[in-house]
Amino acid sequence: MKIKSLISSLLFVVIGFAILYMLFQHQQNAYQEECILQNIPLADCSLFDRIVSDFKTVKWIWIIVISVIFMISNIFRSFRWNQILATENYHISKFNSMAALMVGYFANLGLPRVGEIVRSGIITKYEKVPIEKAIASVVLGRIIDVICLLLVIGLTFVLGYDIFKSYFEDNLQLGSILYILGPMILVGIAGIGALIYINKLNAAGKIKNSFIKGFIDRINSFINTLLSIKNLENPGLFIAYSIGIWICYYLMTYLCFFAFEPVSHLGPLAGLIVFLFGTLGMVFPSPGGMGSYHFLVIQALIILGINATDANSFSYIIFFGIQIFCNVAFGLLFLILLPVFNKTKT
């Protein structure tokens, strides 16, 4: 099973690099066509050199501000996570929850989605939280994030209806989406139905196999942790943390406009649209959203009237300036500090 998971993760890493490579080649060809129109020799028309040149123009004070906001969002997320675990009477240290979160983000840059397992494993190791409950608490946080994302999608559609209507008419076919998602939804419903049926048999004492019984007990423990949200001690604070996380995420995109001159004139609605597209790109399980994030950010900026070359440079600036730098720097820092902070616990 571990080998299959590793192969699956590596596959998405390859896909992420492939998307990024194909996107770069496409933008390189477009850039060279632009150079031809401007009578610029192709020898002097390197997209890589253009990106490097654009990085040199970045106003780094804004990147620093955004990095601070990024860490504030993670503080909110770690505090919210503590609230979830507290409903199961696991009161973990704020440092360990923050450290587990940042190390998990760092791990995601290597193998997509492995960060959630790493994050849960750290809490299990240092705070003695059962692994199924740690994973369930992470999943519950993700479910809340999905709800928040749906709210952001709704808000963005309302405020930018005309822009989105034009985009989806040109780029998406509803029939194709249903053809792909339909079987997946049916399999999911069938799987849930099978689990419910097996659980009823287990409750009635009709299942004797110890492995199956143990598996069902783990599933029930997982579900009970998900349902524990109703036992939150301070629901208002939980909601405030969730809102704070997503406001920070939005500001990280919008304020980054001011760091790069070609997009500095874009307003709050444009920030919301680029933020939404970028977030959808991060959902794809490539390392840190690599490739898919760039592609959707570029598409959003093109829709907003930004030159494709400038849009491409901005996608690299926000991705490597924030996602990569912050996750690597702080991930490594907390990875080093974790055993030091917990030396009396192990």
Contacts 24+ apart (CB under 8 A), 159-166: 159/269, 159/272, 160/269, 160/272, 160/273, 163/273, 163/303, 163/304, 164/273, 166/303
Per-residue confidence (pLDDT) for residue 308, from 0 to 100: 83
The SS3 call for residue 200 is helix
Token pair belonging to 51: 């990106």
Q: Are 284 and 13 in contact (CB under 8 A)?
A: no
Q: Is the pLDDT of residue 105 over 90?
A: no
Q: How confident is the model at residue 133 (pLDDT cuts 50, 70, 90)?
A: confident
State phi, psi for 57 to the nearest 5 degrees.
-90, -5
Distance (Å, whole) CA 42 – CA 23: 19
Give the distance from CA 223 to its chain's centroid. Answer: 23
One DSSP character per residue, 277-337 reads: HHHHHHHSSSGGGTTHHHHHHHHHHHHTT--HHHHHHHHHHHIIIIIIHHHHHHHHHHHHH
Model pLDDT for residues 81-93, shown as the tens digit of each residue: 999 888 888 888 9
Model pLDDT for residues 17-53, shown as the tens digit of each residue: 665 566 566 666 666 666 666 666 766 677 677 777 8
Q: Is the pLDDT of residue 191 over 60?
A: yes
End-to-end CA distance of the chain: 29
Per-residue confidence (pLDDT) for residue 266, from 0 to 100: 92
Q: Is the pLDDT of residue 12 over 60?
A: no
Please state the domain extents for the chain: 2-172+234-341
Tokens 């409950």 locate to 133
Average pLDDT on 154-177 reads: 69
Per-residue confidence (pLDDT) for residue 95, from 0 to 100: 92
Model pLDDT for residues 266-324, shown as the tens digit of each residue: 999 999 999 988 888 877 656 666 677 888 888 889 888 888 888 888 888 888 777 77
Q: Is the pLDDT of residue 242 over 70?
A: yes
Distance (Å, whole) CA 173 – CA 185: 18
Q: How confident is the model at residue 243 (pLDDT cuts 50, 70, 90)?
A: very high
Q: Are 264 and 257 in contact (CB under 8 A)?
A: yes
| pTM > 0.85: yes or no | no
CA angle 252, 255, 259 (to 5 degrees): 115
Distance (Å, whole) CA 32 – CA 145: 41
Q: How confident is the model at residue 1 (pLDDT cuts 50, 70, 90)?
A: very low
46: exposed, middle or buried (Cβ count in 10 Å: 0-12, 13-18, 19+): middle
* Amino acid occupying residue 186: L
Look at residues 115, 145, 127, 146 and name the one whose alpha carbon lies nearest to residue 86.
Answer: 127
Distance (Å, whole) CA 166 – CA 180: 23
